[in-house]
Amino acid sequence: MKGPKKAGPQVIDPALSPPIYVPIGMALAGVLGLLVLQALVIAKAPMIFGPFRFNPAALAAVHLFTLGFATSVMIGAFHQITPVMMRGRPVEGGWALLQGLAYLAGSWALVWGFYRSAGPWITAGGTLVVLALVVFAALVVRAMRSATQWTVAGRFMAAALSFVLGTVIWGLVLAFNLRRGFLPDSLDYSPLGAHVLLGLGGWFMLTVFGVSYQLFPMFALTNRPSAASGHAVLAKLSAGLWGAFASLLLHLPALTAACLLLAAAGAARYAADFFAMMRQRRRPELDLSMRYGVTALAFLVPAALLLLLSVRHRAFAVPGAWLFLFGFVATMILGMLYRIIPFLFWHHLMRNRRSKTQRLPKLDEMFAQRTARAGYFCWTAGVLLTGLLLLGGALGWWDARYLVRGSAILNLTGSLLFAGTILQVLRARPLDGRERSMG
Ligand code: HEM
């Protein structure tokens, strides 16, 4: 039988995997968050893309993205990937379910609280998110402690856990500060910058870099960079980002700049590893998942530059954050899901088929390739166009807040096509013994 061998990302091993509803349930919850967010962006663009500080619509949209979409998917992916990749104990389904539900309830309550400027919802939702993520980290660390194989990616993921906890705990402090105002200067951007740095740099970027060290060589049939290089990237990024967090809170601008330079050196070394992987690949054509991955990394470059520029010129924070979140993080996640969900579901069908004569569809047959490609183009065009419109707005060329409503429709279309093809995967069934495969 033609199985998913050619794509084997070594993240699926039935003996070490959690129950399938853990990764797929969290991924579906995340995709729902992304769809709601797109609708919110179209409905409330003029409010969301206005001045970003203490802006309820912007806070709701940002946290619907970071918590409702991206972190939801990543929680499921951590439970799936870490025990298999590191040969550790899988998470128990009951615990993962409990933690996932508490997390989702907390995130949506927090988003609602931000949207309605409702203090009790913000603090209650934020507290639930923090507690659920502490349990999440404990469950992943438990799998890691029984690991017999420490990979570069595993070390990145362990470090990323410290960053997500730092982000949400400090976020909760900021949330209480919104109500009580105990931080001395409400116009000071440093506490907010510290929260954003840990979340975007430490949680999202570090996880993506780490996972790509594991998956890109398998997806693109290329050589894996040396472990020493991966460890150097991790050391520079971790030290730089934690250092910048502390020095921002202590108001030490020279030290903050030095730490950010160290983190930038880590990112530059990662870029060198990435280009080496791409140059040496033995599969020249990029499949859909890799195409999303490469596009995501291409968006990271202008995003990081704009976010750095925003330290001096605040207006660049909006296009920078857009390109970072939608261009880099979301594009990468959508690409990875195109690889992982069909894979997981194929194994599920394999385990549950009634007899050995039942054929399974090939991975490529589990969803309509053309629709998926159309989704990729709509998504990428939407991200790019919205990014350019927001950049023009930051430069004072036009009022982007109304214009982006149009380009965001492209994004919504892209995510609907993505969601449709993922649902198609989940409806795939074993073919009858006599039925010929479509391939
Ligand atoms: C992965 C997790 C998270 C990420 C990546 C993240 C990211 C961000 C970003 C980008 C902003 C700036 C948005 C703006 O000013 O319009 C922000 C602001 C904020 N976040 Fe989060 N966030 C996360 C989790 C949380 C959690 C769990 C809480 C609360 C418990 C929280 C509380 C806040 C608060 C209160 C602000 C506004 C702070 C201020 O302006 O002084 N965040 N966050």
- pLDDT for 210-246, tens place per residue? 999 988 888 888 888 999 999 999 999 999 999 999 9
How high is the pLDDT of residue 411? Answer: 96
- Answer whether 70 contacts ligand 1 (Cβ < 6 A): no
- pLDDT for 38-48, tens place per residue? 999 999 999 99
Of 353, 346, 415, the residue nearest 69 (C-alpha): 415
How high is the pLDDT of residue 8? Answer: 42
* Residues 74/96, Cβ–Cβ less than 8 Å: no
Phi/psi at 31 (nearest 5 deg)? -65, -35
Ligand 1 atom, smallest distance to 175 CA:
35
Query: In angstroms, what is the span from residue 341 Cα to ligand 1's centroid?
Result: 29
- Answer whether 195 contacts ligand 1 (Cβ < 6 A): yes
Buried b (16+ CB within 10 A) or exposed e, 382-405: bbbbbbbbbbebbeeeeebbebbb
User: Which residues, in sequence order, are CB contacts of 113 under 8 Å at separation 6+?
Assistant: 119, 120, 121, 122, 123, 124, 125, 126
What is the distance between the alpha carbons of residues 394 and 166, in angstroms, rounded to a whole number?
A: 30
What is the distance between the alpha carbons of residues 345 and 73, in angstroms, rounded to a whole number?
A: 16
Is 432's pLDDT higher than 90? no
Residue found under tokens 């206005």: 50
Query: In angstroms, what is the span from residue 195 Cα to ligand 1's centroid?
Result: 7
Query: In angstroms, what is the span from residue 88 Cα to ligand 1's centroid?
Result: 33
Q: Which residue has the higher pLDDT, 216 or 199?
A: 199
Is 2's pLDDT higher than 60? no
Beta bridge partners of 359: 431
Residue nearest to atom 24 of ligand 1 (CA): 168
Of the pLDDT bands very low, low, confident and very high (cuts 50, 70, 90), residue 51 is confident
Share of the chain above pLDDT 90, in %: 77
Residue nearest to atom 19 of ligand 1 (CA): 171
How high is the pLDDT of residue 262? Answer: 98
How high is the pLDDT of residue 53? Answer: 85
C-alpha triplet 53, 127, 145: angle, nearest 5°: 115
Ligand 1 atom, smallest distance to 321 CA:
10
User: Which residues, in sequence order, are CB contacts of 25 under 8 Å at separation 6+?
Assistant: 76, 97, 100
How high is the pLDDT of residue 221? Answer: 85
Of the pLDDT bands very low, low, confident and very high (cuts 50, 70, 90), residue 381 is very high
Query: In angstroms, what is the span from residue 93 Cα to ligand 1's centroid?
Result: 29
Residue nearest to atom 17 of ligand 1 (CA): 196
- pLDDT for 322-353, tens place per residue? 999 999 999 999 999 999 999 999 989 988 88
Q: Which of 230-234, 261-265, 345-349, 435-439 has the lowest mean pLDDT?
A: 435-439
- Answer whether 108 contacts ligand 1 (Cβ < 6 A): no
Region 380-393: mean pLDDT is: 98
What is the distance between the alpha carbons of residues 96 and 100, in angstroms, rounded to a whole number?
A: 6
- pLDDT for 397-411, tens place per residue? 999 999 999 999 999
How high is the pLDDT of residue 1? Answer: 42
**Could you give all domains of the chain from N- to C-terminal order, each with its CATH number?**
5-427 (1.20.210.10)
Region 297-317: mean pLDDT is: 95
Residue found under tokens 């198609």: 424
How high is the pLDDT of residue 367? Answer: 94
CB-count exposure of residue 435 (10 Å: 0-12, 13-18, 19+): exposed
- Answer whether 66 contacts ligand 1 (Cβ < 6 A): yes
Query: In angstroms, what is the span from residue 252 Cα to ligand 1's centroid?
Result: 22
What is the distance between the alpha carbons of residues 42 and 35, in angstroms, rounded to a whole number?
A: 11
How high is the pLDDT of residue 12? Answer: 64
How high is the pLDDT of residue 219? Answer: 82
- Answer whether 240 contacts ligand 1 (Cβ < 6 A): no
How high is the pLDDT of residue 7? Answer: 40
- Answer whether 193 contacts ligand 1 (Cβ < 6 A): no
Is 437's pLDDT higher than 70? no
Q: How many CB atoms lie within 10 A of CB 257?
A: 13
Phi/psi at 432 (nearest 5 deg)? -60, 150
Residue nearest to atom 27 of ligand 1 (CA): 168
Residue nearest to atom 8 of ligand 1 (CA): 196
- pLDDT for 61-84, tens place per residue? 999 999 999 999 999 999 999 988
Mean pLDDT value across the chain: 92
- Answer whether 75 contacts ligand 1 (Cβ < 6 A): no
Of the pLDDT bands very low, low, confident and very high (cuts 50, 70, 90), residue 6 is very low
- Answer whether 171 contacts ligand 1 (Cβ < 6 A): yes
How high is the pLDDT of residue 112? Answer: 98
Residue found under tokens 């150097």: 232
- pLDDT for 160-188, tens place per residue? 999 999 999 999 999 999 989 899 888 88
- Answer whether 386 contacts ligand 1 (Cβ < 6 A): no
What one-letter code names the amino acid at 195?
H
Query: In angstroms, what is the span from residue 324 Cα to ligand 1's centroid?
Result: 15
Residue nearest to atom 23 of ligand 1 (CA): 168
How high is the pLDDT of residue 198? Answer: 98
What single string gives the DSSP state of each residue in 219-233? HTT-PPPPHHHHHHH
How high is the pLDDT of residue 102? Answer: 98
- pLDDT for 145-162, tens place per residue? 998 889 999 999 999 999
